[in-house]
Amino acid sequence: MTDTPDFRFDLLASDGAARRGRVHTGRGPVDTPAFMPVGTAGTVKGMLTDNVRATGAQIILGNAYHLMLRPGAERVAALGGLHEFMNWHGPILTDSGGYQVLSLAGLRQLDDDGVTFRSHIDGARHRMTPESSVDIQRLLDADITMAFDECPPYPCDHDTARRSLERTLRWEERSKAAFDARPGYGLFGIVQGGVHPDLREESARRLVDIGFHGYAVGGLAVGEPAAERNATLEVTTPVLPAAAPRYLMGVGKPVDLVDAVERGIDMFDCVLPTRSGRRALAFTWDGDVKLSHARFRDDPEPLDAASDCPASRDYSKAYLHHLFKAGELLGWVLVTWHNLHFYQQLMGAMREAIEAGRFEDFAARFRQRQTR
């Protein structure tokens, strides 16, 4: 790219720990708090990229592990990179594959250099290291590359979490050394340490010493109660630089997003909006709507009559109920579309509340409506 600006983060407003900012990438800005729809295998399931963009999404997530296995990072690169391949021309963040590889119980062997594993698709043997993960993400042309890390299980005792943390920090130093620094591209480090406050603080401080464009909080959304997750964020985010974006990986439900923004998080991804859409679960301002329930079979009202999203506005709950009962794929598409649009509405509402200095009131009212 010519005259591409440097990757940077502007903090535009704050309200308590909640932050309103803007991430600048070579493919355009990302307003924060931001939610990244998950496009694991080069697609946000059930959605055209134009429709994803119309929800208000400015950035999506891809995954190095899945794309290296199928269709292959080299093939994607030969076809113009992931943006061209999937017809998404905004920024893309790619997960390093560390979580996916390390979750392959019985199919992988871990050592200090990296991970040897067998594909969940065909059993073929592969090797992933910090250097190869970063190179895969370079071939995909990710705007934001994630450092390779080890995600420990939950629950995890202090000694196990300590050993995992030390390995992760070594891998993240190697990831930084392997990263091809270019204008408009960023590399994020990942804070680990289980739910142990001292390890989380130490991990964050040592990552800052290494130096990254942004900082992710990993190893959460793996089964821990929300109270433990929130407590972990409370000891982690104050250690991270104010001038860098903060990304909470794999979270979560709408209330979880509000909780995390309240604790200083800027960026999110999660499969819930799309996965729930395929399971007839719609997220709304007044809580969850399980459309497969019989009480919706005669309901003429849409999910949100005031919405500018066609999926939310133009189809009755009775029709959506019918689609799922009939096994029609359109039900998956419409509720996924609605959920992604709702998540972007929620992000926009939080940005406005922070700018207006009323985030605490917004969060309280939102939680109250969600638990009616």
Which residues, including other chains, have CB under 8 Å from residue 171's CB and lie 6 or more apart? 114, 130, 147, 148, 149, 150
What mean pLDDT is reported for the chain? 95
Write the CA distances from 279 to 236, 251, 323, 327, integer angstroms: 34, 18, 12, 11
Give the position of tokens 């709304």: 284
What sign has the CA pseudo-torsion 193, 199, 201, 206? negative
Q: For residue 356, name the pLDDT band (cuts at 50, 70, 90).
A: very high
Rounded to an integer, the average pLDDT of 146-153 is 93
Rounded to an integer, the average pLDDT of 33-39 is 98
Q: What are phi and psi of 102, to 5 degrees?
A: -75, -10
In angstroms, rounded to a whole number, what is the distance separating the alpha carbons of residues 272 and 370?
16
Q: What are phi and psi of 29, to 5 degrees?
A: -85, 160
pLDDT digits (tens, 9 = 90+) for 96-122: 987 776 676 667 888 999 988 888 889
Q: Which of 146, 142, 137, 138 is nearest to 172 (CA)?
A: 146
Query: Any idea which residues carry the catalytic annotation?
Result: 95, 269
pLDDT digits (tens, 9 = 90+) for 232-251: 999 999 999 999 999 999 99
What sign has the CA pseudo-torsion 185, 189, 190, 196? negative
Q: For residue 1, name the pLDDT band (cuts at 50, 70, 90).
A: very low
In angstroms, rounded to a whole number, what is the distance separating the alpha carbons of residues 6 and 125?
38
For the range 117-126, what are the long-range contacts, defined as Cβ-Cβ under 8 Å and sequence gap of 24 or more?
A: 119/69, 121/69, 121/70, 126/68, 126/69
Give the position of tokens 């979560």: 252
Residue 2: its pLDDT value, please? 47
The whole-model pTM stands at 0.97
In angstroms, rounded to a whole number, what is the distance separating the alpha carbons of residues 13 and 359?
11
Which ranges constitute the DSSP H helices of the chain? 49-54, 64-69, 73-78, 82-86, 98-102, 130-140, 158-178, 197-210, 226-236, 254-262, 272-277, 310-313, 317-325, 329-355, 359-370
- Is residue 260 pLDDT above 90, yes or no? yes
Asked if residue 223 lies in contact with residue 154, where contact means CB atoms within 8 angstroms, the answer is yes
Rounded to an integer, the average pLDDT of 270-282 is 98
For residue 128, count other CB atoms closer than 10 A to its CB: 23
Q: What is the bridge-based pairing of β-strands 214-217 and 186-191?
A: parallel
pLDDT digits (tens, 9 = 90+) for 298-337: 999 999 999 999 999 999 999 999 999 999 999 999 999 9
The CA-based angle 306-256-22, given to 5 degrees, is 75
Q: What are phi and psi of 362, to 5 degrees?
A: -60, -45
Classify domain 8-269 by CATH number. Answer: 3.20.20.105
In angstroms, rounded to a whole number, what is the distance separating the alpha carbons of residues 174 and 163?
17
In angstroms, rounded to a whole number, what is the distance separating the alpha carbons of residues 221 and 163?
20
CATH 3.20.20.105 in the chain, residues?
8-269
